[in-house]
Amino acid sequence: MTIEFCYLVFITTDYYAVNNFIVPQFLGKKRYFLFISATLFTIAVSAALRALVAMQMNVHFFHSLGVTQNALNAVVVNQSLKLGD
């Protein structure tokens, strides 16, 4: 199991949360501000959890020692670059 697989799990969860819950609850009822807020909140929480999972996988599965603030910054930068794809 690689980090990319974990990313796929979070992205899939975001997709189904938005399409099955947020769209019918907010967009279907023309509550646009709540729709945008809920979607951005879902993406932000997912990104934060992905960063934490990536750090834990690097430490426990790939045996990367010395997880510091630089490693967290690298994960955040990688996440932000992947959002642009």
38-83 confidence digits (pLDDT tens): 999 999 999 898 888 888 877 777 665 554 555 666 666 666 666 5
| Tokens standing for residue 73 | 């910054």
Q: What is the pLDDT of residue 58?
A: 76
How far is residue 73's CA from residue 25's CA, in Å, rounded to a whole number?
35
Domain region containing 44: 3-83
Q: pLDDT-based confidence at 2, cuts 50/70/90?
A: low
Q: How many DSSP H helices and E strands does the chain contain?
A: 3, 0
Quick one: which of 47, 57, 37, 36 has its CA closest to 13? 47
**Count of domains in the chain?**
1
Residues 7-29: pLDDT tens digits?
888 899 999 999 999 999 998 89
Instruction: Give the pLDDT confidence score for residue 15 in this predicted structure.
Output: 94
